[in-house]
């Protein structure tokens, strides 16, 4: 297995912050030259490079300070471009592609030999996706190579859903930021792998499991690993702000007295209504209790909660609903290992 070492400390740079704009031709020229360009998708912003250029892909790992064991996803303009990168495509993968591409679905398939192992972290499989964003689709159609594009943020930090988020975190490590406005979904793609031609859920995401199962039948889940993930987003700690998160039960209001102040409350609807006048700041994912809105605002408000003088973030799991389960998955990983109701 081919392995690559990525330094644990990101290199310093005197590079000026990247320009932000909507110039697709400029973005294409930079990518053809092996440079890094941040691209918008309907889910989150990605840090893109030529996915068939090993040195360009390595520059993604270095810019993000991403460990070499976490594989990347290749983004392409359409179904046939995706399947040209796969050695074998199960029937149910084709059905899913027909139903959900372009869109927030990633299929993990056996890779063709010309897909570099640096993209797949040494695995014989590769994640493939057709993003549903007009700027990025137009860009991909100008390229004769796929784009490797993990989220455009330092590894493990909160995902970016605006061009400004990218500029804030990786502005001096990116050559251009293609600004497609705020991401319309706000949560990463759902990732499906295959075992004996049967689909397996590897990461919960913006595409609902129930919609996939209408085509595939019941899905087996393998969404957590202790190491060597088969797909992005499987590690226990991920999507994490710098400040500690305490996941609390709304009725346990006495917990507030034990926590260091000041405190930011990240809430949803009226979930923590009794807490709101007793904390230092309240950020509401959706005052109306709308799960789609909560998904769109989740990363942006988590980033906002990470700013200012507050010592920690208090929040709770969202109530029942399929998208609530997806958001709760991100919340649990963001809070790890501070997901209990007592502060350490």
Q: Is pLDDT of 341 > 70?
A: no
pLDDT of residue 240: 87
Q: Which CATH number fits domain 244-335: 3.40.50.620, 3.40.50.11030, 3.30.465.10, 3.40.50.300?
A: 3.40.50.11030
Q: Which CATH number fits domain 20-221: 3.40.190.10, 3.40.80.10, 3.90.870.10, 3.40.50.300?
A: 3.90.870.10
Average the pLDDT over each of 166-170, 221-225, 232-236, 247-251 and give the range with the smallest value.
232-236
Q: Is pLDDT of 5 > 60?
A: no
Instruction: Write down the residue that tokens 């230092």 correspond to.
Output: 280
pLDDT-based confidence at 47, cuts 50/70/90? Answer: very high
Tell me the per-residue pLDDT of 49-100, one tens digit each, with 9 for 90 and over. Answer: 999 999 999 999 999 999 989 999 999 999 999 999 999 999 999 999 999 9
Among residues 251, 298, 257, 255, which one has the least CA distance to residue 271?
251
Among residues 204, 171, 172, 169, which one has the least CA distance to residue 185?
204
Section 94-120 average pLDDT: 98
Q: How far apart are CA 167 and CA 206, in angstroms?
A: 24
The distance from CA 80 to its chain's CA centroid, rounded to whole angstroms, is 24
DSSP H/E element including 245: strand 244-247
Half-sphere exposure at residue 85, Cβ-oriented, CA atoms within 13 angstroms:
31
Q: How far apart are CA 137 and CA 77, in angstroms?
A: 6
Among residues 316, 318, 284, 323, which one has the least CA distance to residue 301?
284
Q: Is pLDDT of 251 > 60?
A: yes
23 within 8 A of 44, measured Cβ to Cβ? no
46 within 8 A of 75, measured Cβ to Cβ? yes
Section 242-250 average pLDDT: 94
pLDDT of residue 135: 98
Q: How far apart are CA 158 and CA 169, in angstroms?
A: 10
For all residues of the chain together, what is the average pLDDT? 91
Comparing 20-221 with 244-335, is the CATH topology the same?
no
Helices (H) and strands (E) counted in the chain, each on its own, are 10, 15
pLDDT-based confidence at 343, cuts 50/70/90? Answer: very low
Q: Is pLDDT of 193 > 90?
A: yes
Among residues 102, 110, 54, which one has the least CA distance to residue 75?
102
DSSP H/E element including 325: helix 322-335
Alpha carbon separation from 224 to 106, 209, 238, 283 (Å, rounded): 17, 16, 11, 29
In degrees rounded to 5, what are phi and psi of residue 109? -130, 160
List the domain boundaries for the chain.
Answer: 20-221, 244-335
Q: Is pLDDT of 11 > 80?
A: no
pLDDT of residue 233: 75
Section 25-48 average pLDDT: 98
pTM reported for the whole predicted model? 0.92
Among residues 297, 185, 295, which one has the least CA distance to residue 283?
297
- Per the DSSP assignment, residues forming a β-bridge with 148 are 49, 74
180 within 8 A of 40, measured Cβ to Cβ? yes
């Amino acid at each position: 297995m081919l392995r690559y070492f990525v330094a644990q400390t990101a290199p310093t740079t005197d590079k000026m912050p990247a320009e932000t704009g909507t110039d697709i031709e400029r973005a294409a020229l930079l990518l053809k030259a092996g440079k890094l360009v941040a691209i918008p998708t309907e889910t989150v912003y990605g840090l893109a490079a030529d996915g068939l250029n090993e040195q360009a892909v390595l520059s993604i790992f270095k810019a993000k300070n991403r460990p070499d064991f976490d594989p990347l996803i290749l983004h392409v303009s359409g179904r046939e471009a995706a399947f040209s990168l796969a050695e074998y495509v199960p029937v149910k993968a084709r059905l899913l592609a027909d139903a959900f591409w372009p869109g927030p679905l990633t299929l993990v398939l056996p890779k063709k030999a010309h897909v570099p192992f640096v993209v797949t972290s040494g695995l014989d499989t590769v994640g493939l996706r057709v993003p549903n964003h007009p700027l990025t689709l137009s860009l991909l159609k100008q390229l004769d190579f796929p784009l490797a594009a993990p989220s455009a943020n330092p590894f493990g930090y909160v995902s970016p859903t605006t061009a400004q988020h990218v500029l804030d975190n990786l502005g001096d490590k990116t050559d251009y930021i293609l600004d497609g406005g705020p991401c319309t979904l706000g949560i990463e793609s759902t990732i499906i792998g295959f075992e004996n031609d049967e689909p397996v859920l590897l990461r919960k995401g913006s595409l609902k499991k129930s919609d996939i199962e209408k085509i595939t039948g019941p899905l087996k889940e393998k969404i957590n690993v202790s190491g060597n993930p088969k797909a992005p987003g499987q590690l226990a700690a991920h999507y994490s702000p710098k400040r500690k998160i305490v996941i609390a039960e709304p009725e346990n209001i006495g917990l507030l007295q034990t926590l260091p102040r000041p405190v930011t409350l990240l809430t949803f609807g009226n979930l923590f209504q009794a807490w709101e006048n007793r904390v230092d700041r309240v950020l509401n994912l959706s005052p109306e209790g709308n799960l789609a809105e909560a998904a769109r605002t989740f990363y942006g408000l988590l980033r906002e909660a990470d700013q200012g003088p507050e010592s920690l973030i208090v929040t709770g799991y969202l109530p029942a609903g399929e998208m609530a389960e997806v958001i709760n998955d991100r919340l649990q990983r963001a809070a790890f290992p501070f997901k209990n109701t007592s502060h350490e």
